[in-house]
Structure formats: structure tokens, C-alpha cells
Structure 1
Amino acid sequence: MRRSVSAGSSRRDLSRRATEAEWMDSVPVSPEDFAACLADLETVNRLTRATAPTLAFLDRLTAGWPDGAELRLVDAGSGQGEMLRAIHGWAVRRGLRPRLVGVDLNPQSALAARAATPGAMAISWVTADILDYRPATAPHAITSALFTHHLEDGALVRFLRWMEETASDGWFVNDLHRHAFAYYGFQLLSAVAGWHRFVRHDGPLSVARAFVREDWERLLAQAGIGRAEIGWHLPFRLCVTRLKGAA
């Protein structure tokens, strides 16, 4: 029988995805505490250059698009919205007209995102289960960052199919590589940095719930998606790219 190992344990079986729930998904918390946790997560993402793979995907997606073209994009599991704010800034610099939507199941996420986002940015915040979300107009692209590891395999296969059916031009999954260095290294870094208790608990568990290439190959096959790229990005990001115009 496989022994259960807690997120804070010194030993962890990383041969398969962990199944324990992260505190952010299961423990009630005040809006103030939630906002403090999201602020520390934003610091983590900034230090680990979390936006770089997603912006590189968008460079590829929009190659050849004319100045002034509209970019309709949905971000799944948008949290406090730092990814969408980065995408908005990138799109403006690129000469595009961003029309961005962040979808998150937790209503506190939309509150935190609105508070952190300048009103001039063309970003809407929706509280919904992403699998139930039906945009009135098909987005060109769907992105997610550090979202898919929260899903069990069955829901993740449905999410892959939903993106494939919903996005007109392509989609991108930006998530973690399940690896011992990332798992134990984050434990040390978060303890030294003194980040929010949820970040210290959930960060290593996020790595344990994350993926290796074989996981993505299996999940994509189950979803019936044959033309997707799986790529590694520094530091310990394992991302999936689907460009519908690609041969």
C-alpha cells in the first residue's frame, strides 16, 4: 500500500501526481488573509519569471497580426490577475487591442483582481467554474498559469477538450514540472522568505501535484488532442502549447 506523505514531510514520493488538496482550495480564509496570500504568490511568480512562457506563446500566436488587431483571450484560474495584467501590457506594446477575461471559481479572486488592476485596463473578471463558462464570442486564445495542477486527471482531460473546442486560434498551459529539486528547493526558499503560511504549505504540494512529460502525453491522448507541444521552461515549468494554425 502506498504511504500518504504530507506536504511538509521531508520525504515525498514524486513518481506520480499527489492527490492531497491544497489549503487554498480547501481551507476557509478571510478576504484579508486571502489577499495577503495572493500578494505573496505574485512575488513568487515574479521571482520565477512565470509570465515569460505565456508571453512567448502569444508572440508565436500573433506573429503576422496587423497593428490594431483585437486579441480576445480568456485566462483560466486567473487569481489576483497578475498574468492578465502582464498580457495586457504586452498586447499594448505589440500594438494589439486586448479584450481579456479572467475566470476563477473563488469569488475572492475577482475582488482581489479588481482591487489590483488599473481601471483603464480592458480586463473583465468572472466568477465561474471554467468548464461551465461559455463566452459570447470565441476567444482567440485561452491561457492558464499554475491552474491545471489543481485539477484531478478526469477534470483536466475535460479542461483540455474545453480549450480545444472554445479557442479559435490556440491555447497554452503554463504549469510546473514535478521534480525533486523544485519540491525541496521551494520548501527552503519559502521558509527563508517567510511567505504566507498557505504559500509555504501549498508551494511544495503544487510541485507534487504537477506533471512530468509522460503525464501530459497521456492526458492529451485521453483528450483526443494530437497536435500539441510539450516544452520545458526555466525554472521547472512544463508547458503545453496548441497552435491551431500550425502544421
Structure 2
Amino acid sequence: MIDFNQRSSEKEIMDDLACDGPVLDQTLKELKSINKLLGGNHVTTDGLDKITAKFPQASYTIADIGCGGGDMIRVMGDWAIKKNLNLHFIGVDANPNTIEFAKERLADLNNVEFLVKNVFEAGFLGTKVDIITCTLFTHHFTDSELQMLLKSLLDQAKLGIVINDLHRHSVAYYSITLLTRFFSKSDMVKNDGPLSVLRAFSRADWKELLKHSQIKSYAIKWFWAFRWQVIVWNS
């Protein structure tokens, strides 16, 4: 019997920073398709709409933490073109193999730089940026790790943070289990997809995390399909 009341602490295969090769490539390609299919990318760009509307500027620097294969940087770049905004991106990931994959996929863009960094190193970005985004990233950490991370991110974001992550829910769990079982060619996706839901959040979880991170200015909104948008304002 699965307990959906508590976050799972089981590690995903993707948490292994030595992960590389065809398995990683297939996984990142499938994750891109799943996010597009389920409409999860809109959660991040909607958050950017809100922050840029509140703080209008000619240009913004956005650090995408846990950037993976660079899919969200591509999505945000396309969004910026439609909005006529000038963006500079910093893609950050702890896995150097993933960063190399992202560099290849975004080789046509001249407004992106990449950092291989441990996000728990103090001031890991080396400078403050306007906005920090995290998509399907925060569920990889324990509550205590997240509290430290949120404080660190807020110290490095001038305007705010946009978090896009999963809602821990039985419907989400069984749906992704079936979807990956029948359509995925990646053992990593079949394992990590359902597990990521079990490691994800309820609204109450986010409220407690933000409270213990001493963050008071924030907004939490639910999106289909089973996503949370958390915006933290640095103002």
C-alpha cells in the first residue's frame, strides 16, 4: 500500500551524477516529450510572465537550476521571442554529462552559458541574477536540504524564483506509471517517473518548507497536469 501522505526518500537513478551514455540521452529525450505532452512547460513561463510584469526591464538574466538537457531554456527562449524580451541564460547542473548534452542541444543559441555546480556550495552562481527557475528539480532533495537551497536561491535572485514541480497524488502516480510502462524505452524513466511523484509535494508541504525557510512573500498555484507553481518574490 502506497502512502501518499508523506514524501518518499528513495533516490532516483538520475540522482547518480555519474549517469551517462545512451541511457541518459534516451531519458532526457523522453522527459522532453512527456513535459510537452502534459503541458508542464507552461507552469514556468506563466511564472516568468508574472515576475516580468511586476518588474519590467529591458533584459533579464535567468539561471535555470538543474537544467538537465536544456529543454526549459529552449522553452523560455521561445517565450522571450514572443514577448520581445532580451534574456541571458545560465544553465546549472551538477552532472557534467548532462551539461554536455545540453550544450549540444542548444548549440544554436548564443545567449546561454553553462555551469557544472553543486547548488549547496555557498554563492554557487558567483553573481546575482534577476530570476532563478527550477523545473522538476526540487523534488530530488529532502526537506532539510530544500530549506537550505531555498534560502541560497533567494540570496542569489534579485527579483524572484519560479519553481515548477510535481503534485504528489495517487492519480498522478498511477497515470505516469501506465504512461511510462507502455510508451517508454528507458528503464530510468520507468523507474524515476513514478518515483518522482512519490518524492513530490502537497500544498501543505510547500507551505511548511517556505515557512521553515523564513520566506514570507510567495504564491502557490496548482496547474494541470498535477503541477505546482511556486513563485518566491525577493521584494
TM-score class, shorter-chain normalisation, is over 0.9
Change (3 A) 1:89 1:99: same
SS in 1 for 2:129: coil
Q: Which one of the candidate residues 76, 90, 115 is aligned to 1:101?
A: 90
Q: What is the percent sequence identity of the aligned residues?
A: 33
Q: Which one of the candidate residues 179, 200, 225 is aligned to 1:210?
A: 200
Deviates more, 1:165-174 or 1:130-139: 130-139
Q: Check if 1:53 corresponds to 2:43.
A: yes
TM-score by length of 2: 0.94
Looking at structure 1, the residues matched to 110 and 76 of structure 2 have their Cα atoms a distance apart, in angstroms, of: 11
Change (3 A) 1:182 1:138: same
Looking at structure 2, the residues matched to 72 and 131 of structure 1 have their Cα atoms a distance apart, in angstroms, of: 21
Paired residue type of 2:187: R
2:156 is matched with 166
Looking at structure 2, the residues matched to 55 and 35 of structure 1 have their Cα atoms a distance apart, in angstroms, of: 25
Q: Check if 1:84 corresponds to 2:56.
A: no
2:129 is matched with 139
Paired residue type of 1:84: I
Q: Which one of the candidate residues 120, 124, 129 is aligned to 2:109?
A: 120
Change (3 A) 1:16 1:91: same
TM-score by length of 1: 0.89
2:32 is matched with 42
How far is the alpha carbon of 1:217 from its aligned partner? 0.9
SS in 1 for 2:158: coil
1:231 is matched with 221
Looking at structure 2, the residues matched to 185 and 202 of structure 1 have their Cα atoms a distance apart, in angstroms, of: 13
Paired residue type of 2:233: L
Paired residue type of 1:52: H
SS in 2 for 1:20: coil
How far is the alpha carbon of 1:102 from its aligned partner? 0.8
How far is the alpha carbon of 1:53 from its aligned partner? 1.0
How far is the alpha carbon of 1:12 from its aligned partner? 1.5
2:61 is matched with 72
Looking at structure 2, the residues matched to 33 and 91 of structure 1 have their Cα atoms a distance apart, in angstroms, of: 32
1:19 is matched with 9
Could you tell me which runs of 5 or more consecutive residues in structure 1 were left unpaired when the two chains were aligned: 1-10
SS in 2 for 1:232: strand
Q: Check if 1:153 corresponds to 2:162.
A: no
1:4 is matched with none
Paired residue type of 2:234: K
How far is the alpha carbon of 1:119 from its aligned partner? 2.8
Deviates more, 1:18-27 or 1:144-153: 18-27
Paired residue type of 1:65: P
Aligned residues: 233
1:241 is matched with 231
Larger radius of gyration: 1
Looking at structure 2, the residues matched to 29 and 169 of structure 1 have their Cα atoms a distance apart, in angstroms, of: 34
How far is the alpha carbon of 1:166 from its aligned partner? 1.0
Judge conservation of contact 1:74–1:142 (CA < 8 Å) in 2.
yes
SS in 1 for 2:10: coil
Deviates more, 1:114-123 or 1:83-92: 114-123
Task: Point out which structure has higher relative CO (alpha carbons under 8 A, 6+ apart).
Answer: 2
